[in-house]
Structure 1
Amino acid sequence: MALVELRFLAPDPDTAIHHAGRVVVLAESELPLAARPLDRRARGALSRALASDRWSALAAGEGIELAFPAGIEASGVMLVKLARAAGPADLRKAGATIARGLKPEGALVLAQGVRRLPLLVEGIALRAYDFAMRAEAPKAPGPVALMVADPEARTKDCAEVLHLAEAVHFARDLINEPANVLTTGTFADRLLALRALGLDVEVLDEAQLAELGMRALLGVGQGSDSPSKVVVMQWKGADTPPLALIGKGVVFDSGGLSIKPAGGMEEMITDMGGAGVVAGTMMALAARKAAAHVVGLVGLVENMPDGRAQRPGDVVRSMKGDTIEIINTDAEGRLVLADVLWYAQERFQPTAMIDLATLTGACVVALGHENAAVFANDDALAGAVLKAAEGQGEGAWRMPLGPAYDQLIKSRMADMKNTGGRWGGAITAAQFLQRFVKPGTPWVHLDIAGVTLPPGETTLAPKGATGWGVRTLDALVRARFETGTSA
């Protein structure tokens, strides 16, 4: 939940020798100079470990731990394999290795000579995360102290990645929260609190949504006691047309009357993952005072079955004016996004739009838990998203769109139906959304169903929500939408 406490210290051999917690040494084939006094006091234990077959078998960024080595006060020495010319992925992985299993006594990292230190720090901060609601709170990990030359300068160098990690944690917290805690109202309140960072935040209630004609979105939430809302967050760091980020915020998805199987339904607390990522991104942009105009819009609903719930066979009219035949009430996220996409264009005339949603199980079947699906009507924007994702180590893969898929969502009675059936389900969902994008507006749809809640831990996150997308979108804004960059 909270970021681990990070400190930067000046080099001092005695500090390492007398540190009571874990001492971390970053090495490749031989010990760095800073670790040699420690090795001498430990009677060569570190050197022997580096000469072992176990060390040679390690991949970059992985580590081994020597518990309670003789001659020093540390509870353990962790040796992490890292070359001096290590790339971003290895540096982040090494940081994650340091952070995994942190104990209350904390850790001391001999980081002198590490190039691109912020990437190592980013890995530590991202992996040092826990979400728990147990009666007895887990013991918080102790601080991580990094021994570096010029600690004051390194503190400044790492400030931005720590702000970004905090925003990722914010997104993870939202996604991990159970639906009895994170209702649509509570979610909106969490976003209103971002005003403290300088974001302009407003909440549209059901009466306002009805007046705007958002019948597709309202239809999804009409079976729930939690009122539907749209939250608009705006960061105006430049006087330009905005980039619009749109997130699906279904705080719980039972499937409605087309109810889901019981097995795994508890994971549907994360069906607001797109909205969580948009919120985290807006927090990141505000925290670093990005020189960009970005608006984040999230549609908050709960999809529940009761006597008022939307039925299969219903026909609803979207804000755009198109009619939609409801075939399956579990294909609800696209109904929410359709109205919010149209509203974003009508109100803000954005220079580009990106929507994010845990939209389809078909996306998980196609790409597993390694990649988000990227659909786009604009090659340049799609390429920029893919490049940003690659730079952050967040998997993404472009998927096709095409008129032939439109035949699968053709309705006999309305302008379209809300699902095209089993085949190409992620694609037909994207085709549906594309109908609510005005000609000439660059648009990307990110289906993050597989990467939002993987079945186990990942390199940079424990089991639970990953916050996939916050770092990618922040990098995209930095590279393409800030003042002075070309869009």
Structure 2
Amino acid sequence: MQTDIDKFMVDQLEISLENKLDAEELFKDKKSLAEAIFFARDIINEPANIKTPQTYSEKILEYLEPLGIEVTIIGEREMKNLGMGALLGVGQGSQNESKLVVMKYDGADDKASPIAFVGKGVTFDTGGISLKPSANMGEMKYDMAGSAAVVGSLIALARRKAVVNVVGVVGLVENMPSGNAQRPGDIVTTMSKKTVEVLDTDAEGRLVLADAICYVQEKFRPRCVIDLATLTGAIVIALGKTYAGCFANNDELANQLIAAGNKVNEKLWRMPLHKDFSEMIKSDVADIANINTQAKGANSSTAAHFIEHFVKEDVAWAHLDIAGVAYSKTVSSISSKGAVGYGVSLLNQFIKDYYEEQ
């Protein structure tokens, strides 16, 4: 019996092209990008009992090393020796050891200073002692979407053999409540030697980024630093599911990222940094607090200012808060429910347009 759909089945399709080689190269480029996005989506969608910092770091090593990317996995003992008290404090309540994964892609022959991508990789976020409400907590398996964007972008660049040097650093932790968990009011010392008063253990992503950003600057002296994180609920209130928030200390870098995002439909909206917001994270007992201590509001901006404290003065930096765009509860024309893989196309286009040697 022939159904309606059988009437429209195609046995063979022929496409005529003026330049077959150009089309094949374009398809190859698009295919490599798609595979990178699919990697990001798949790892974000993994449940947290499977996606621990250990298994996630092993997956990165397994996938990236064959692409010619140098992967280094740093464990808790070495991080302690490096002074990463902020990152380690977030993960100390978990039985799963925290990891810092460093991915080095050298696509340019001149060994120029790399572009640095840094990602928040909280494989599950309960909020710690500052426990989140139980409703929708299962979605917190997505709290490592920033790290997935970093890993995915490295995959895309390596697969198309981009002529550029890029280093990616992701801090992988699990934020859990336990008898050994970090407490509100604890003070931690970061790799930069600055101290942080942890007033809310659910404001943990910025602590992970603080040490990861410090590490990439000390180790690689990058030309610029771009971090990505599902950082604040406030950015969702401000921008919904349409834009990610872009905070930057450099107008040129911000404009480049926004332009690249517009090309690939991963939109960014420039958000404000201001000395008034920086004042809001002052602490009476440490260099800074990890949340706003003085007034209500501006929570995305105060979070960005927290991260900025760990960026060297001469380094161009942008922080992309992707909390509203990292996953979708509905089916779209190009993605099912769940992880979107936001950031992979954006970073790939950014490199292609502004930093890749021709």
Smaller-chain TM-score bracket = over 0.9
Higher relative contact order (CA 8 A, sep 6+): 2
- Following the alignment from structure 1 to structure 2, what is the Cα–Cα distance between the partners of residues 348 and 157? 32
> What are the within-5 Å matches in structure 2 for residues 216-295 of structure 1?
216-238=86-108, 239-295=111-167
Deviation at 1:152, TM superposition (A): 5.2
Matches of 1:436 and 1:402, distance apart in 2: 16
How far apart are 1:408 and its partner, in Å? Answer: 1.1
2:338 alignment partner in structure 1 = 464
Aligned to 2:355: 481
* Residues 300-315 of structure 1: pairs in structure 2 closer than 5 A: 300-315=172-187
Displacement of 1:146: 5.3
Q: Which moved more, 1:475-484 or 1:216-225?
A: 475-484
Counterpart Cα distance in 2 of 1:146 and 1:456:
32
The answer to whether 1:329 aligns with 2:201 is: yes
Identity %: 47
Partner residue, 2:44:
175
Instruction: Trace 1:11-160 onto structure 2 (pairs within 5 A).
Output: 68=4, 75=6, 77=8, 108=10, 147-150=14-17, 153=21, 154-160=23-29
Q: Give secondary structure in 2 for the equivalent of 1:354.
A: strand
Which residue in the other structure is 1:50 paired with?
A: none
Which structure is larger by alpha-carbon Rg, 1 or 2? Answer: 1
Q: Which amino acid aligns with 1:468?
A: Y
CA shift for structure 1 position 192: 0.5
Please state whether the residue corresponding to 1:75 is helix, strand or coil: helix
Aligned-partner Cα distance in 1 for 2:138–2:173: 17
Matched, 1:215 2:59: no
In 1, distance between residues paired with 2:14 and 2:305? 52
CA distance in 2, matches of 1:474, 1:289: 12
Q: Does 1:162 align with 2:31?
A: yes
Change (3 A) 1:108 1:384: farther
Question: SS where residue 290 of structure 1 aligns?
Answer: coil
Residue pair 1:108, 1:147 contacting (<8 A) in 2 also: no
Alpha-carbon offset, residue 395 of structure 1: 1.8
1:33-60: CA deviation from partner (whole Å, max 9, x where unpaired): xxxxxxxxxxxxxxxxxxxxxxxxxxxx
- Deviation for aligned residue 1:447: 0.3
1:350-361 superposed matches below 5 A? 350-361=222-233
The residue identity in structure 2 corresponding to 1:353 is V
**Alpha-carbon distance in structure 1 between the residues aligned to 2:180 and 2:188:** 14
Structure 1, 150-159 or 365-374: larger mean CA deviation: 150-159
What amino acid does structure 1 have at the position aligned with 2:51? L
Deviation, structure 1 residue 156 = 3.6
Q: Which amino acid aligns with 2:306?
A: F
In 1, Cα distance between equivalents of 2:301 and 2:157? 31
Deviation at 1:457, TM superposition (A): 2.2
2:74 counterpart (196, 204, 212): 204
What is the CA deviation profile of residues 345-385 of structure 1, one whole-angstrom value per residue up to 9, with x for unaligned ones? 00000000000000000010110111100000000000000
Equivalents in 2 of 1:318, 1:408: separation in Å? 20
Gaps of 5+ in 1: 1-19, 21-66, 69-73, 78-106, 110-144
Taking the aligned partners of 2:225 and 2:79, their CA distance within structure 1 comes to 21
* Residues in 2 aligned to 1:368 and 1:425: alpha-carbon distance in whole angstroms: 15
Number of residue pairs the alignment of both structures matches = 350
**Unaligned runs of at least 5 residues, structure 2:** none
Residue identity in the other structure for 1:395:
K
2:299 to 420, 425, 429: 425
Structure 1 position 463, deviation (Å): 1.0
Equivalent runs, 1:309-388 vs 2, <5 Å? 309-388=181-260
Q: By how many angstroms is 1:108 displaced?
A: 4.6
Q: CA RMSD in A?
A: 1.6
Q: Classify 1:350/1:108 alpha carbon distance in 2 versus 1 (closer, same or farther; 3 Å).
A: farther
**Alpha-carbon distance in 1 for matches of 2:265, 2:204:** 30
TM-score by length of 2: 0.95
The offset of 1:157, in angstroms, is: 3.0
